[in-house]
Amino acid sequence: MTDAPLLTGHDLIADYVKRLDGSPGVYRMLDAQSRVLYVGKARNLKARVSNYARPSGHSGRIARMISETAAMMFLTTRTETEALLLEQNLIKQLKPRYNVLLRDDKSFPNILVSRTHGYPQIKKHRGAKTEKGSYYGPFANAGAVNRTLNQLQRVFLLRNCTDSQFESRTRPCLLFQIKRCSAPCVGLISEPEYAASVADAERFLSGKSTALQESLKGEMQAASEAMEFERAAALRDRIRALTAVQTVQGINPRGVSEADVVALHLEGGQACVQVFFIRAGQNWGNKDYYPRVGADIEAPEVLEAFLGQFYDEAREPPRLILLSHGLENPDWVADALSERAGRRVELAVPQRGEKAELIEGAARNARESLARRMSENATQARLLEGIAEAFGLESAPRRIEVYDNSHIQGSDAVGAMIVAGAEGFLKSQYRKYNIKGTELTPGDDFGMMKEVLSRRFARLMKEDPDREQGHWPDLLLIDGGAGQVSAVAEIMAEMGIEDLAMVGVAKGVDRDHGKEEFHRIGARPFALQRNDPVLYFIQRLRDEAHRFAIGTHRAKRAKSVAVTPLDEVPGVGAGRKRALLLHFGSAKAVSRAGLADLKAVSGISDSLAETIYAYFHAKG
């Protein structure tokens, strides 16, 4: 970075241009506090950056960005493709204010046909593809995967139980009774027959359902002619189920076997990108995204930025991507995606035919989704304004944090924080806190709240002391009355934070919904009308915090219940732990067992039995 303390905006950029060459690379614009305003890529850094040195001809967004620029950073790359990939990595990492930003980075679920067992399991899989087996996807969401898995169970009767459940079965489970599994766990189907069903399921997932149906019809006819009427009837039922599946699958394009359909709709400074997943000639669901954009941004820039961030290490691009709008640099993006996928990726903007119809349908969904979101945001804005009026705030809160604790007589205590704002619940920003204080009295809610808030705001003061990153709340909602609010105010005062609005939500008379009382420091408690939308909104906030806290507590309790002293014995893994518990009935009984009894357990060697015996008797 070159220091130019006396220059800003156009003059500063023009000064940088003098020292740039025509190499490809990435540039960053920084403000006076060295915060990154924008990350951009360039085939020719000198030519690209010189555009910003012009004093006029910019959109309002770009003009504001230039005026705030106090410094720039540059990084040259060997190729244009490297520049694009680096740009998208930096955008995800730095989240600059003036870039188009995709805020959803979850990986997509797949269907996995596992190959670790003689009778393969079919299941949902998300994340790295490290398990041995065949993967089919991606699917738009877990719901699309679950629907397909249900269909596969109905047609092919494949198991979805874990290997340990499979080994422990002595009789068929309920899925066999309702004709969703062939019960290989108890030998009601042979391994070759089950393998044939797995092969048929994989043919279906590969888009060969028509050929599969014809094959099944041939088998049914042959079984009927051989007077194997029971087998013929089973094949008939499978054909019927397969036909029903094909009927409810929705729009399945005839001429597109593998593609992502990406359509954009811009309106009122907001954007919705709708993505449909076509795999094996089947529609495997759709999902909408709402990237952060400016009021004066254009569709090609939004789509180009979206594609670069959408297809990362966890999301492999298909061979064909159908787009609603052309890109500024289509060849550049296609080369980058091809390099990432390790094969050719084609981008197309269809104008007619079936592909254009797919784009038209996706664009209609994007338009309708954005309209619903804008309506919901308007309603949310009115509710936030209502909260400001009810609690005497200067303006509508942009970020509300709600805190709650959960425990059973002090055991497995956890604290929970949920966040809500103009876009509703911000679940990616929820936080869980394991209560660590060893000096707390069991069930001390005040002590737990003090620990949670101290940890939360100590981190905030360290990471964002100037409150400029949008992570500080405008309002704290506390589940409780005057005592809890006073305790929270005392905690905040100890940390030197005395300008945060806080409100306690108490259940009120008979602990009944609709009779809540609200407590603030230095003010009398009050209630809202039972039919006030603001009251319903606050109830939802409090109930969401309670749900999240209870769920966190239950997960922690379940984990602690599964822990036994056997987990700490050297050489005792999950299998041997199960064998010991099945033999003796409990961990306590294992700890009291004699050496001879331990040696009698299947799978426990003499040396391991001596280790277990010595471990418990040494501790005693």
| Single-letter residue type at 427 | K
Contact 556, 407 (CB under 8 A): no
124 and 201 share one domain: yes
DSSP 163: H
Give the integer Cα–Cα distance in Å for 383 and 530: 15
Q: At what angle do helices 60-68 and 9-17 cross, to 10 degrees?
A: 80
Q: What is the pLDDT of residue 503?
A: 92
Give the integer Cα–Cα distance in Å for 362 and 265: 10
DSSP 530: T
Q: Is residue 418, in this structure, part of any structural domain at all?
A: yes
Q: What is the pLDDT of residue 249?
A: 47
Last residue of a domain, one of 530, 545, 560: 560
CATH number at residue 551: 3.30.420.340
Strand ranges in 480-561 using DSSP code E only, listed in sequence order: 501-506, 517-519
Say whether the peptide bond before residue 192 is cis (omega within 30 degrees of 0): no
546 and 615 share one domain: no
- Residue 8 is inside which H or E element, if any? none
Contact 366, 265 (CB under 8 A): yes
Coil, strand or helix at 78 = coil
234 and 362 share one domain: no
341 and 242 share one domain: no
292 and 346 share one domain: yes
- Tell me: the pLDDT tens digits for 341-389? 889 999 999 999 999 999 999 999 999 999 888 888 888 999 999 999 9
195 and 326 share one domain: no
DSSP code per residue over 100-143: -B----PPPPEEEEE-SSSS--EEEE-S---SSEEEE---SSHH
User: What would the mean pLDDT of 477-491 be, rounded to a whole number?
Assistant: 86
Q: Is residue 4, in this structure, part of any structural domain at all?
A: no
**Residues with Cβ < 8 Å from 179, sequence gap 6 or more?**
154, 157, 237
Residue with tokens 């094996």, as numbered in its chain:
280
Q: What is the pLDDT of residue 423?
A: 84
Give the integer Cα–Cα distance in Å for 520 and 502: 7
CATH number at residue 83: 3.40.1440.10
517 and 555 share one domain: yes
Contact 13, 46 (CB under 8 A): no
- Residue 67 lies in domain: 9-94
- Tell me: the pLDDT tens digits for 25-43? 999 999 988 889 999 999 9
Residue 437 in this model has a pLDDT that exceeds 80: no
- Tell me: the pLDDT tens digits for 190-229? 999 899 888 888 887 877 666 676 777 787 888 888 887 7
Residue 568 in this model has a pLDDT that exceeds 90: no
555 and 587 share one domain: no
- Count: domains in the chain: 5
Residue with tokens 């939500």, as numbered in its chain:
505
CATH number at residue 584: 1.10.150.20
Task: Output phi, psi for 83, to 5 deg.
Answer: -65, -45
537 and 447 share one domain: yes
Say whether the peptide bond before residue 138 is cis (omega within 30 degrees of 0): yes
225 — alpha (psi -120 to 50), left (phi > 0) or beta? alpha
Residue 570 in this model has a pLDDT that exceeds 50: yes
Q: Is residue 391, in this structure, part of any structural domain at all?
A: no
Q: What is the pLDDT of residue 382?
A: 92
Last residue of a domain, one of 94, 118, 146: 94
457 and 534 share one domain: yes
Q: Is residue 377, in this structure, part of any structural domain at all?
A: no
274 and 357 share one domain: yes
Last residue of a domain, one of 216, 248, 280: 248
Q: Is residue 394, in this structure, part of any structural domain at all?
A: no
- Tell me: the pLDDT tens digits for 108-118? 888 899 888 88
Return mean pLDDT, the chain: 85
Q: Is residue 137, in this structure, part of any structural domain at all?
A: yes
Higher pLDDT, 469 or 595: 595
CA angle, 308 then 344 then 301, to 5°: 25
Give the integer Cα–Cα distance in Å for 229 and 592: 59
Q: Is residue 18, in this structure, part of any structural domain at all?
A: yes
**Residues with Cβ < 8 Å from 53, sequence gap 6 or more?**
10, 13, 14, 17
Give the integer Cα–Cα distance in Å for 433 and 616: 33
Q: Is residue 383, in this structure, part of any structural domain at all?
A: no
DSSP code per residue over 174-214: HHHHTTS---GGGTSS-HHHHHHHHHHHHHHHTT-HHHHHH
- Tell me: the pLDDT tens digits for 391-428? 999 999 999 999 988 876 656 788 899 999 988 898 88
- Tell me: the pLDDT tens digits for 296-330? 788 999 999 999 889 876 688 999 999 999 998 99
283 and 231 share one domain: no
Give the integer Cα–Cα distance in Å for 406 and 34: 41
